[in-house]
Amino acid sequence: MSYDNKLIAGRIKEISARAAEAALRAGRDPGDVRLMAVTKTVSPDAIEVAILAGQTLFGENYVNEARGKISLLASRHPMVSWHLIGHLQTNKAGPAVGLFDCIETLDSIKLASVLDSKARASGRRLSVFIQVNIGEDVAKFGVPPGRLDEFLKGLAAFPHLAVSGLMTITPWTDDPEDARPWFRALRELRDKVSEEAGVFIKELSMGMSRDFETAIEEGATIVRVGSAIFGPRYRLKI
């Protein structure tokens, strides 16, 4: 194994251990938290190193970037799951349904309608998370918390979509503690709408490299970690 390969494998191990400790601190079962490796700008070779180190869940931001990587790696590693975590435009919904196991960024009824018909055409039920703009940040995508109830009701019209989670990107903070109220708010919102809708929405995708432990303490079931595994992205963009 090369130095870089050992580094990636070692970081996955270390982050998994820290994630498990955070779960235990909060009285949660570490088995209820999954680490997603976020691989935007990361090469297929580096992704494969992560897979061989035991990593099974990956997140990509862009359909075009993901296409080549997933088609290359999926045939060799069929047990790996791929989630789309970047904003999705309706004109990319077809290829996205073909590539991803789950779309975490559903944020409009129009997109739901297109995804539903693409999922129907490919004979499957597509797992989706609703992206919630928990910080009500004008620069971010997502359903405002106050509209989630109504949005969920609207999704009842789409039988080929399985709503299995909520996802959020919290406002930037230096201190992970500052993100805690947003994480807590998303969990409480999930519990509230689940109770009202009478269906439990299980997954909470929240927390990144700088604050995944706080997110787990507040109930995250998926944490999306990129740079803490693969290194800073700007280095790879040149």
Residues that bind ligand PLP (CB under 6 A): 38, 40, 61, 85, 169, 208-209, 224-228
In angstroms, what is the minimal distance from the CB of 88 to ligand PLP? 12
d(CA 52, CA 5): 10
CB of 222 to ligand PLP, least distance (A): 10
Question: Which of 190, 81, 218, 182 minimizes the C-alpha distance to 130?
Answer: 190
Nearer to ligand PLP, 37 or 155 (CB): 37
Q: Which is nearer to ligand PLP, 158 or 212 (CB)?
A: 212
Element (H, E) at 68: helix 63-76
Kindly state the smallest distance separating residue 226's Cβ from ligand PLP, in Å: 3
| Residue 38 or 160 with smaller CB distance to ligand PLP | 38
The residue nearest ligand PLP at its CB is 226
Shortest distance, CB of residue 26 to ligand PLP, whole angstroms?
Answer: 20
| Strand, helix or coil for residue 204 | strand
Give the residue with the Cβ less far from ligand PLP, 120 or 210: 210
Residue 163's H or E segment, with its range, is strand 161-167
Minimal CA–CA distance to 129: which of 206, 22, 64?
206
Under a CB-based contact definition with an 8 Å cutoff, are residues 86 and 105 in contact?
yes
